Amino acid sequence: MRILHLTDTHLYGDPDARHYGRIDTAAALRGLLARLDHLADIDVVVHTGDASEDGTAGSYRLLHEILDPFAASLGAPLAVVMGNHDVSAVYGDEIAAGERTAQSQDRVVPLPGGARVVVLDSSVPGAGYGHLGPEQLDWLRGVLAEPAPAGTVLAIHHPPLVGATTLLRGLDLDGLDELAGVLDGSDVRIVLAGHYHHQMTGQIAGIPVHVSPGVTNVVDPVGAGGHEQALALSGASVVELGEEAPRVVSSVYPSAGDTLGDAEVPVYRFSPDEVAAIVEAAGR
């Protein structure tokens, strides 16, 4: 199975809006997909959240206006996860279909050949961190109790890892031990996540975790020092699942939506005090 993994498009309902006053997020997504038009043998396109920046119905219609034809050209279904900038209720009312829990966008996307993608909504209304409630964990436990013939991919916005920066650690997913207890011994082959905006790998309950670089910008966790910064880049990953361990490759390109046109100039650069204020407002 080959998966195209996208994340963090941060689309707006207002076509004139710019992310951090600079990035045309729709143009960034379209430009990235243009670079990927050679892809073949993709079985599913997975978008791991923050599809929208403003949570509007218009932003979700735009997402599907762009991604649906692209996925269809690959002959692949599209699975979209909700992130902390998304509004699950709006997406559910406007777009989503299929099985889901009462208060979230948890659902199962079956794939040809007997595999499946389990979409798990880790968003918390009005917050930046991630959380999975008891109802969701019980639902996931019930789904995984019946293994899929060709295995399961778990897609979630907040990675079940510890973030690489102060800001990301303040906006991490909580309850990792509880989630690990549900996943332990299951047929989940890999966990796909977003949120961090940079590539990262790890594991939970012995299962590989892959975080794809963001479409709207790519965070620089190494070169920022005590600050937090992101660059005007766009990334994507291809995940291959076979008999051996998952194989993941990622690429990052200059953003096609950068109105400044200079990938060397950070999209944002937050001081430690600014990071502390963001965590206080949106963290736990």
> In the predicted model, what is the mean pLDDT of residues 119-133?
96
Q: How do beta strands 44-47 and 2-6 pair?
A: parallel
Residue 102 has a pLDDT of 42
Cα separation, 77 vs 88, whole angstroms: 20
Question: For residue 226, what pLDDT band results from cuts at 50, 70 and 90?
Answer: confident
| Domain range enclosing 7 | 2-282
Residue 159 has a pLDDT of 98
**Which tokens sit at 204?**
């939970």
**Which tokens sit at 158?**
């907040």
pLDDT exceeds cutoff 50 at 212: yes
Cα separation, 204 vs 34, whole angstroms: 34
Question: For residue 95, what pLDDT band results from cuts at 50, 70 and 90?
Answer: confident
Q: Are 145 and 113 in contact (CB under 8 A)?
A: no
pLDDT exceeds cutoff 80 at 209: yes
Tell me the one-letter amino acid at 20: Y
pLDDT in tens, 240-262: 999 999 999 999 999 999 999 99
> In the predicted model, what is the mean pLDDT of residues 114-119?
97
Question: For residue 100, what pLDDT band results from cuts at 50, 70 and 90?
Answer: very low
Among 34-38, 198-202, 223-227, the range scoring the smallest mean pLDDT is 223-227
Q: Quick one: what percent of the chain has pLDDT higher than 90?
A: 93
pLDDT exceeds cutoff 60 at 103: no
> In the predicted model, what is the mean pLDDT of residues 87-108?
73
Q: Quick one: what percent of the chain has pLDDT higher than 70?
A: 97
CATH of the domain at 215: 3.60.21.10
- The CA–CA distances, whole Å, from 213 to 59, 168, 230, 274 equal 21, 14, 11, 23
pLDDT exceeds cutoff 70 at 148: yes
Q: Are 232 and 217 in contact (CB under 8 A)?
A: yes
Going 50 to 54 to 55 to 61, the CA torsion angle's sign is: negative
Q: What is the 3-state secondary structure (H, E, C) of 232-245?
A: CEEEEEEEECCCCC
Residue 99 has a pLDDT of 43
Looking at the structure of the chain, the number of domains it has is: 1
